[in-house]
Amino acid sequence: MNLADYLRRQFAYNEWANREVLTKIDANGGANESANERSLELMAHILSAESLWLERLKQQPQSSPVWPKADLAECERRATEMARLWREYLEPITTGDLSETISYKNSKGEPWTSTIMDVLTHVVMHSAYHRGQIASHMRARGQAPAYTDFIHAVRQGIVK
């Protein structure tokens, strides 16, 4: 498997894991349950950050805040949209493209340059980090979090 295929696989996992978390939030009362407020804040942030990084990769202006307010329905809509947009972006990517660099400004306005590989790796890891926070929050509230381990997705044939 080449690096481009590996990253497409990681983003397939990321898409599945985001949906699993949203499904579990919905099962625990969705947006009507105040106990889910922090989980929805984190999920909205995950999806907004994914959008922000894709816009940076495409050299487009930032279209949404880093920490937006969103209800369950909006998070579900954004998750579907981001999954489609990532698939479209990643489809033509080659291993050679991954070492190319992009220049951008972070949310503090500081200029940076990163490789495409590093940005794509960051997106998946950032999302997993915050999904872990959601799981911890749900457990603290007595809720069962989504089971989003990568190996579970592979064993179930969700990620091939």
Asked if the structure places residue 84 within a domain, the reply is: yes
The pTM of this model reads 0.94
Per-residue pLDDT of the chain (160 residues; tens, 9 = 90+): 899 999 999 999 999 999 999 999 999 876 556 768 999 999 999 999 999 999 999 999 999 999 999 999 999 999 999 999 999 999 999 999 999 999 999 989 999 999 999 999 999 999 999 999 999 999 998 899 999 999 999 999 988 8
- Note whether residue 105 is domain-resident: yes
Residue 118 one-letter amino acid: D
Report the alpha-carbon distance of residue 130 to residue 145 in Å, rounded: 13
Distance CA 160, CA 137 (A): 30
- In-domain check, residue 36: yes
Is 86 a domain residue?
yes
Q: What is the CATH number of the domain that holds 35?
A: 1.20.120.450
How much of the chain is in helix, strand and coil states, percent to nearest 5? 65, 5, 25
Q: Which residues pair with 113 in a beta bridge?
A: 103
Task: Classify 112 as helix, strand or coil.
Answer: strand
The total domain count for the chain is: 1
Residue of 4, 22, 14, 43 lying closest to 123 (CA atoms): 14
Residue 160 lies in a domain: no
**Residue-range definition of the domain harbouring residue 34:** 3-155
Half-sphere exposure of 78 (CA within 13 A, CB side): 23
In a domain, 119, yes or no: yes
Q: Strand 101-105 to strand 111-115: parallel, antiparallel, or no bridges (unpaired)?
A: antiparallel
